[in-house]
A = this chain, B = another copy of it.
């Protein structure tokens, strides 16, 4: 990929072409668990940027049963499942298509049931084979900004594509920068029974994902993603010197919420793991988009923290007792 002439992913472009001249008044982001969590920053972008289009994030089965009355031919429904087999998400695609909505399925498996039930498919890569540009989040951001560009003339699309093309280098720098901190985290927190995460704005979904997928699912550690703004209206009564909090500080407009939560936590807590996006080297990311892209980098860093925690606890991230093993 040559930076001087970066182009949007062709699969995303196909969706954008289909949107031209079509009336869309609502975008539904529909998925489960970790795939749902990555939708949150996309809604943040929609809320900040959309002049007319509204949006919602729903867990797939909630979406189907809630059955939003507005859902119809003026809706765009964006779904995601890595394997493409998550039954609730496959059913949600079918449900939305039958309502006349335009459906786009993000998956690593382009012949999967989700791909078959979706009008458009975006295959994303993951793990060693991927670069930031073609991960689930990288491609979702291309689509979200593309939707805003095509339907409302938003001018940040090209900047987003360019910034995403430079993101892999940022990931690699951040991996190096946080290598020893991640190792230390694993050592320091390996015996904890409860670890909270906290964030707001564009970063809340990352905190949510870390709580439910990494800590609860993959490590069997109690957790809860606390919203930095809600913290002072209940949750903060839980903190004391023995209660660990991972606090994310973003670069988006809600950063003051995180800063306030951190300031308070420093006074009464002693087990604070602070990931501040200000410390990142974001060379190549457009100044205007740093707030939107910070969660992707923080997410990447947090994955390193997860790997080290798993190592220190001798509890592999792949270990499950129920998922894929028993009936549910």
A34-B233, A230-B59, A233-B33 as given contacts; A223 in contact with B220, CB under 8 Å: no
Of residues 215 through 253 on chain A, the ones whose CB sits less than 8 Å from some CB of chain B are 216-218, 220, 222-224, 226-227, 229-230, 232-238, 253
Residue of B nearest to A61 (CB): B229
User: Would you call A88 and B322 a contact (CB within 8 A)?
Assistant: no
User: Would you call A69 and B54 a contact (CB within 8 A)?
Assistant: no
CB of A165 closer than 8 Å to a CB of B: no
Residue of B nearest to A87 (CB): B232
User: Would you call A234 and B212 a contact (CB within 8 A)?
Assistant: yes
Residue of B nearest to A62 (CB): B229
How many whole Å from A265's CB to the nearest CB in chain B?
A: 10
Residue of B nearest to A232 (CB): B328
In the bound complex, what is the Cα–Cα distance between A162 and B320 (angstroms)? 50
In the bound complex, what is the Cα–Cα distance between A88 and B48 (angstroms)? 19
CB of A256 closer than 8 Å to a CB of B: yes
User: Would you call A238 and B222 a contact (CB within 8 A)?
Assistant: yes
User: Contacts A54-B56, A61-B229, A217-B236 given; 18 further ones with Cβ under 8 A?
Assistant: A32-B233, A47-B68, A50-B70, A51-B70, A59-B230, A61-B200, A61-B256, A61-B257, A62-B254, A65-B201, A66-B253, A216-B234, A222-B222, A223-B224, A236-B322, A236-B323, A236-B328, A237-B320
Residue in B66, B220, B233 whose beta carbon sits within 8 Å of that of A254 in the complex: B66
CB of A52 closer than 8 Å to a CB of B: yes
User: Would you call A230 and B54 a contact (CB within 8 A)?
Assistant: no
Of residues 69 through 121 on chain A, the ones whose CB sits less than 8 Å from some CB of chain B are 69-70, 86, 88
User: Would you call B59 and A229 a contact (CB within 8 A)?
Assistant: yes
Residue of B nearest to A320 (CB): B237
A47-B66, A54-B70 as given contacts; A237 in contact with B322, CB under 8 Å: yes
Residue in B220, B224, B226, B267 whose beta carbon sits within 8 Å of that of A237 in the complex: B220
A229-B62, A230-B32, A234-B216 as given contacts; A253 in contact with B67, CB under 8 Å: yes
CB of A176 closer than 8 Å to a CB of B: no
CB of A126 closer than 8 Å to a CB of B: no
Residue in B51, B65, B223 whose beta carbon sits within 8 Å of that of A69 in the complex: B51
User: Would you call B194 and A216 a contact (CB within 8 A)?
Assistant: no
A-B pairs, top 3 by smallest CB distance, nearest first, are A33-B233, A224-B224, A54-B54
A66-B48, A227-B59 as given contacts; A216 in contact with B232, CB under 8 Å: no
